[in-house]
């Protein structure tokens, strides 16, 4: 068994791990985008709600102010969640980059081994051809 054949299972495993890491990254990016979208919606709602004030009683104004404060609290919490998801996305991206680099490195090593093995085969074939050619010449030279 050649060195490239012995390393192939490691390359296959590295490829699987890279694909799994890429899948996790895609899922994390979707979660991060969803959380950001929720924050955008909260901020848009807060802005629209603030602009629609007009002609309210004192009681209604106090209720409105309390509601706006709750929206503001939700926005603060959502911003924290956006930051957390962005951090997780970056961590997941770095994990994928590591898996990708490992897969590429192993693939490169196996590629070099295959090239060396092909060159060795070609040299052996050429040596065999040269030997056969010399064997053909010898009987002709002895006559």
Q: Which CATH architecture has domain 3-142?
A: Orthogonal Bundle (1.10)
The pLDDT of residue 53 is 66
Q: What is the pLDDT of residue 79?
A: 98
Which stretches of the chain score pLDDT less than 70? 53-55, 139-143
DSSP track, 40-102: HHHHHHHHHHHHT--S--HHHHHHHHHHHHHHHHHHHHHHHHHHHHHHHHHHHHHHHHHHHHH
pTM for the model stands at 0.76
Q: Break the chain into its structural domains and give their ranges.
A: 3-142
Looking at residue 85, its pLDDT comes to 98
């Amino acid at each position: 068994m050649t060195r490239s054949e012995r390393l192939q299972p490691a390359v296959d495993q590295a490829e699987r791990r890279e694909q799994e890491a890429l899948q996790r990254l895609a899922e994390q990016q979707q979660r991060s985008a969803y959380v950001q979208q929720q924050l955008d919606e909260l901020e848009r709602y807060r802005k629209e709600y603030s602009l629609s004030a007009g002609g309210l009683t004192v009681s209604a104004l106090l209720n409105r102010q309390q509601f706006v404060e709750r929206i503001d609290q939700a926005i603060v919490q959502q911003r924290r969640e956006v930051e957390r998801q962005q951090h997780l996305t970056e961590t997941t991206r770095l994990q994928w980059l590591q898996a990708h680099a490992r897969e590429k490195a192993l693939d490169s090593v196996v590629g070099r081994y295959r090239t060396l093995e092909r060159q060795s085969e070609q040299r052996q074939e050429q040596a065999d051809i040269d030997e056969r050619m010399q064997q053909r010449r010898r009987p002709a030279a002895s006559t």
